[in-house]
Amino acid sequence: MLSIKKHHLEHSVKLSYEIYSCSSYTAPYQPRNIMEDKPSDQSSRWSSKSNDQMQYVLIKLDSMAIVHSITFGKYHKEHICNLKQFKVYGGLTPNNMIELLHSGLRNNSRSETFRLKHRTNQVLLPCQYIKIAPLAAYSPDFNFSIWYIELKGIQSPEIVQQVYLDYIKFRENEAIRLCLKHFRQRNYLDAFNALQSKTKTLLEDPFITELYEQIVSNGDFQMAEDTMINAAEKGLFEEYIRNCPHNYFWKKIEATDACGDSPCTRGGHQMCIDVEAGQIYLLGGWDGNNNLADFWSYDINTKKWNRISHNTREQGGPGPRSNHKICLDHIMKRIYVFGRFIGRGSRANANFNSDFYSYDIINNKWIKLCDNTALVGGPSLIYDHQMCIDSEAQMIYVFGGRTVHPDTEPFTYSGLYSYNIRSDEWKLIRSNDESNSDYVPLKSRIGHSMLLDQNEKLLFIIGGDRDNTFLNDFLIYDIKAGLVHELIADYATHEDHDSVFTQRTTFDMDTQEFYVLSGLKDKRDKRSQAIKNSFWVYDLRLDKWTKIYQSEVYGTQYWESDETIEPRPRYAHQMIYDNVHKVQYVFGGRAVETDVLKQQRLDDFWELHLVRPKSEDLLRRIQFQIRKQKFREMCYEGDTVKALKYLQVQLGQVVDHSIEAESTEFRELTSYLFHKVEDKASSSFNLRTELFENLLEFFPNTMKQPKDNLIDLVKIE
């Protein structure tokens, strides 16, 4: 579980350590070299003698600690022996360590810091030993080198001692629970009861124990069904549902306003959504010839567009623009507008003032907040930046973007700024690339995504482009602590996750999931033949990327036809998210096309619905399983007619014949009618236990018996 609470960081100190052992080393490159950071000395490193998967360096901390982060220092230039992939393990003894990190380094000179797993759901992990196990260097034939390792964490004895005791107690408890599970599973009830009463350890939540008694002890299947319905009502299946893959469907929105108009083709426009009011706003963009200043709203409920303004400048609002940013304050009902792009050809006599506007939705009124933010401590005129608003705190955050100035070269990038709405004050939080050894640098960029978690006060920054180099990092800026964390060194290295440039990302704060609609694979790859959309979900809590959707690679003909069931691949589009109804909206942009001249702007409007199973669906499946067991037991009892009737009526009610496997299973149940069983009691016990364990799947881990089995701990030597 990822938690970035400030109080953990406050105690974080550099941890001293010694080298305990290593798998091998090449003569001058002893493992102790990693204790010193000497980037200019090629010999200041550990280098393995082999490049197999058995290599490691084992570090012993001077005192036990909770290790929060690991920093890898590097050589002053790229080096083929850098670790492209590695794992970090931690534990109290060298023989029993768990994986804390699996990541990779970039082959450059910049040191990299990674957060280490230091807590599970229940307990913090104290470590005495840390093991770094290289898996791949930048070329498979070379040995692995580690230049410098720094560990940070909590070392203060009073905290660590308590954590250690908790940890020991936790392990003791888990061992007892494993025994309890085993005894109950094998029907050693005397042993089970004796152990439970002696240790007073709970195997599971009392709610589950009740379910166990209903199913396994009493065979009261009706009660069990009621319990499961009750569980669904209590929302206990949410964790399960969350782990189910999403289903999706695209839907094209064909909407107009009262006059039959809808927003024209454009790219580089901006959209925002007021979920409570069911309104989507669209402002400006570039239609291929001109910047636009029209302002639209789309009513999600009535499915109608409404043109609020032909030209917002006439109402005292922003002039025509593209590649600007807007964001919506859902509490005060205001929209903020900042930045714009000026084409290279139009910079001669252009106005480079960085103007800043707000729009009062309720009173339909524009206010110019500032004529030039650069004069009041804010950013200069920028484009392709990102802007997020924290409505509760009345703070706006602006990060990145390229500065527009009369000369087109060189590129200059804008840092991270905050704007306090109440006090009307800009503040520079991190200037471009400001680097300090204590910080992970926040590299300024364009074409990235930035999302805000208002509750945790975290800014998430994903990917982007810097000096035509594609960045594939995933950074978290902790607003309160003022620190940057790197979440994943290289999120593009994830299997098949190739399309990441010009991505559009939305964030669901409730489920802590990011939705990424990828654009181009690479900016230089605009002409690529392999044009496809893909849609990914990153689950922050589970640290898991999942690809939900990917379009087939079709030719232009398909994409230009009216029969597409999905939007064609594009960039410079907009995607916004309705987190209540779980719908993504995509509008316009520029079609990705082999021939740049054919890259027309688009005016199509799409909904992407993401669907997960509902608890009603789960309940039906659950009922089917429970009733199946009841039916089997009726068959054992020998009243075949009664059993047949039950099969036809009660079981028949809960079968979904559209699921082939379930339908087949249902039909095959009839064979039980003619089935004779020798040992009814034992057979029932085993089948009931199996049913109970199947039902446990739907409950959160924290409520149920341990997943592991005692029997699996037996070593066969």
Partner 1 sequence: MVQAGVNNSNDSSNSQETNDNVSSTTSTTTSTTTSATTHRNTQLQDNDPNIRSRSKAVCKLNCTYCDSRVCVRGMKAMLLADTRVELYSTDVPPLSVQLVGEDYLTQNCHCKIRDVACLTCGNVLGYHITQPCQQCMDACNNGHLWMFHTEEVTSEERLDFNGTQYNYYNIKYN
> Nearer to partner 1 by C-beta: 43 or 664?
43
Residues with Cβ within 8 Å of 575's Cβ and at least 6 positions away in sequence, in order, are 504, 505, 506, 515, 517, 584, 585, 586
469 binds partner 1 (CB under 8 A): no
Among 34, 64, 81, 531, binds partner 1 (CB under 8 A): 81
711 binds partner 1 (CB under 8 A): no
Least Å from the CB of residue 470 to partner 1 = 17
Among 100, 105, 124, 137, binds partner 1 (CB under 8 A): 137
139 binds partner 1 (CB under 8 A): yes
Among 20, 142, 164, 170, binds partner 1 (CB under 8 A): 142
Stretch that binds partner 1, among 116-124, 140-148, 172-180, 320-328 (CB under 8 A): 140-148
Stretch that binds partner 1, among 142-150, 351-359, 626-634, 669-677 (CB under 8 A): 142-150
Distance CA(549)–CA(535), nearest Å, equals 5
43 binds partner 1 (CB under 8 A): yes
Least Å from the CB of residue 79 to partner 1 = 6
Least Å from the CB of residue 406 to partner 1 = 35
280: how many CB neighbours lie within 10 A of its CB?
A: 24
Distance CA(333)–CA(74), nearest Å, equals 49
Least Å from the CB of residue 162 to partner 1 = 44
47 binds partner 1 (CB under 8 A): yes
Distance CA(261)–CA(259), nearest Å, equals 6
Least Å from the CB of residue 150 to partner 1 = 22
Distance CA(13)–CA(628), nearest Å, equals 58
Distance CA(261)–CA(167), nearest Å, equals 65
Stretch that binds partner 1, among 27-35, 217-225, 311-319, 515-523 (CB under 8 A): 27-35
Residue 715: exposure state from Cβ atoms within 10 A (0-12, 13-18, ≥19): exposed
> Nearer to partner 1 by C-beta: 26 or 454?
26
Distance CA(706)–CA(713), nearest Å, equals 13
Distance CA(586)–CA(573), nearest Å, equals 7
Site string for partner 1, 364-393 (x = CB under 8 A): ------------------------------
Stretch that binds partner 1, among 79-87, 236-244, 265-273, 612-620 (CB under 8 A): 79-87
Nearest-Å Rg of the Cα atoms of the chain is 30
Q: Compute the half-sphere exposure of residue 509: CA atoms within 13 Å on the CB side of its CA.
A: 12
Strand duo 148-154 + 13-15: pairing: antiparallel
Stretch that binds partner 1, among 134-142, 192-200, 263-271, 433-441 (CB under 8 A): 134-142
Least Å from the CB of residue 29 to partner 1 = 7
57 binds partner 1 (CB under 8 A): no
From residue 491, give the alpha-carbon distance in Å to each of 84, 494, 495, 500, 506: 13, 6, 9, 9, 16
Least Å from the CB of residue 147 to partner 1 = 11
Nearest to 378 by CA among 424, 341, 442, 316: 424
Distance CA(562)–CA(586), nearest Å, equals 17
Residues with Cβ within 8 Å of 43's Cβ and at least 6 positions away in sequence, in order, are 28, 29, 33
Stretch that binds partner 1, among 77-85, 276-284, 617-625, 637-645 (CB under 8 A): 77-85
> Nearer to partner 1 by C-beta: 29 or 296?
29
Stretch that binds partner 1, among 135-143, 315-323, 367-375, 508-516 (CB under 8 A): 135-143
Which SS3 state, helix, strand or coil, does residue 312 take? helix
Which residues are paired to 517 by β-bridges?
504, 535
Angle in degrees, CA 471, 474, 477, rounded to 5: 120
DSSP string, 344-366: GGG-TT------EEEEETTTTEE
Phi, psi of 347 (to 5 degrees): -85, -10
Phi-psi region at 82: left, alpha or beta (left = phi > 0; alpha = psi -120 to 50): beta
Among 55, 69, 103, 145, binds partner 1 (CB under 8 A): 145
Among 143, 322, 502, 551, binds partner 1 (CB under 8 A): 143
> Nearer to partner 1 by C-beta: 524 or 544?
524
- Residue 546: enclosing H or E segment and its boundaries? strand 544-550
Phi, psi of 305 (to 5 degrees): -85, 155
> Nearer to partner 1 by C-beta: 47 or 262?
47
608 binds partner 1 (CB under 8 A): no
76 binds partner 1 (CB under 8 A): no
550 binds partner 1 (CB under 8 A): no
375 token code pair: 């004069």
> Nearer to partner 1 by C-beta: 81 or 487?
81
Stretch that binds partner 1, among 139-147, 410-418, 423-431, 454-462 (CB under 8 A): 139-147
141 binds partner 1 (CB under 8 A): yes
Stretch that binds partner 1, among 39-47, 126-134, 515-523, 617-625 (CB under 8 A): 39-47
E strand residue ranges, 125-246: 127-137, 145-146, 148-154
80 binds partner 1 (CB under 8 A): yes
79 binds partner 1 (CB under 8 A): yes
Stretch that binds partner 1, among 90-98, 136-144, 440-448, 507-515 (CB under 8 A): 136-144
Nearest to 148 by CA among 102, 113, 104: 113
Among 6, 10, 28, 713, binds partner 1 (CB under 8 A): 28
> Nearer to partner 1 by C-beta: 2 or 135?
135
One-letter amino acid for residue 194 of the chain: A
> Nearer to partner 1 by C-beta: 80 or 553?
80
41: how many CB neighbours lie within 10 A of its CB?
A: 13
Among 4, 15, 29, 185, binds partner 1 (CB under 8 A): 29
Q: Compute the half-sphere exposure of residue 516: CA atoms within 13 Å on the CB side of its CA.
A: 32
> Nearer to partner 1 by C-beta: 27 or 362?
27
Which SS3 state, helix, strand or coil, does residue 216 take? helix
Least Å from the CB of residue 52 to partner 1 = 14
Angle in degrees, CA 255, 260, 266, rounded to 5: 65
Within its chain, how far is the Cα of 576 from the centroid?
17
- The residue count for binding partner 1 (CB under 8 A) is 17
Least Å from the CB of residue 69 to partner 1 = 26
42 binds partner 1 (CB under 8 A): yes
Q: Which residues bind partner 1 (CB under 8 A)?
A: 26-29, 42-43, 47, 79-81, 137-139, 141-143, 145
